[in-house]
Amino acid sequence: MKSNREHIIQQIISSFEIGEVRLLTETDRLDADDFCVLNVRTILRRQQPILCSLSEYQEQDFNILSLKTPLGAVDNLSLLEAHYDRFKFPYENDMLMARLCYDEKASPGSLYGVYMRTDLPVLYDDSLSRYELNESLNKLIECADMVERLVFQEQDIGIETRKLSEKPVNNTYSLRTENKASKLFGKWRPTWNPKYIELSEKIEQERSLSEVWKMNHENYFIRFLNARNRLDAVLTYLSKDIQESEQVVLEKYFRTIVKK
């Protein structure tokens, strides 16, 4: 399992198409599963560091790649709630795989008290592609940078806030380059945007924004949203390269969380 994990990490690192990869040492990590930070600058020359983690989901025997970018300490939560209407429409209707998260247990100095995140399933059948990785990454960066500019204006969190290893990166391996989309089955449905497909359920009464974003933090893949006085659970994925195996594990995970 360890050798498989190391191979997958090398494939991921070698497949990033933007940014500079900096590997993490044991003491640099926020979590045991973190393996690198990607140093990215947007077209507006703003910084957007991406923390990359690979976690094992033992209940279904697959791995989960999480891409996270900080929005600041928990003190920033109140501003995000107050100015949600500024970015609500593009967040809820365009950048469909990016999820705003709130970690109420984050330490006072943590820049990941509130953060933006995207999760991708990593199976052992070569399911993850360069397209999935980089398309998700680009949308995550776009969404987080938009929120930062609209809500915090002058805030621009950079990679230099972390102490990082100078260890060189091995670019020997790469993720799959061709795209191979399987036919949809189960309860997967196309979205209004042909780039995505989704699973969705209305599950209970609406909650406060902080509770919704806390649920995003506590679960993989699923984005919780208030809509028409109800709380929706939505799992969105890229339609261009969705594999049958990915559909199976994602739908099983989704049903486990929503209990339907």
Residue range 1-15, pLDDT digits in tens: 445 888 899 999 999
pLDDT of residue 161: 53
Distance between CA atoms of 45 and 163, rounded to whole angstroms? 22
pTM: 0.92
Burial 107-143 (b: 16+ CB within 10 A, else e): eeebbbbbbbbbbbbbbeeebbbbbbbebbbebbbbb
pLDDT, greater one: 259 or 125: 259
pLDDT of residue 1: 46
pLDDT of residue 202: 93
pLDDT of residue 171: 62
pLDDT, greater one: 200 or 124: 200
pLDDT of residue 53: 97
DSSP 45: S
Tokens at residue 102, please?
A: 């709130």
Q: Looking at residues 32-51, what average pLDDT do you find?
A: 89
pLDDT of residue 163: 53
Report the percentage of the chain scoring pLDDT > 90. Answer: 68
Confidence of residue 165 (pLDDT cuts 50, 70, 90): low
| Separation in Å, CA 203 to CA 57, 186, 224, 227 | 24, 19, 10, 11
For residue 256, give the nearest of 206, 214, 212, 222 by alpha carbon: 222
Report the percentage of the chain scoring pLDDT > 70. Answer: 93
Tokens at residue 161, please?
A: 């806030």
148 contact partners, CB below 8 Å, separation of at least 6? 46, 71, 155, 156, 157
| Digit-coded pLDDT (tens) for 65-118 | 999 999 999 999 999 999 999 999 999 999 999 999 999 999 888 999 999 999
Q: Looking at residues 217-231, what average pLDDT do you find?
A: 95
| Digit-coded pLDDT (tens) for 133-164 | 999 999 999 999 999 999 998 787 776 655 55
Q: What ranges do the domains of the chain cover?
A: 2-258
> Is a pLDDT exceeding 80 seen at residue 248?
yes
| Digit-coded pLDDT (tens) for 167-186 | 555 566 789 988 888 899 98
> Is a pLDDT exceeding 50 seen at residue 41?
yes
**% helix, strand, coil for the chain, step of 5:** 35, 30, 40
pLDDT of residue 162: 55
pLDDT, greater one: 82 or 59: 82
pLDDT of residue 124: 78
DSSP 169: P
Tokens at residue 46, please?
A: 């703003």
pLDDT of residue 250: 97
Cβ atoms of 159 and 206 within 8 Å: the answer is no
* Sheet with 223-227, edge to edge strand ranges: 189-190, 196-205, 230-238, 223-227
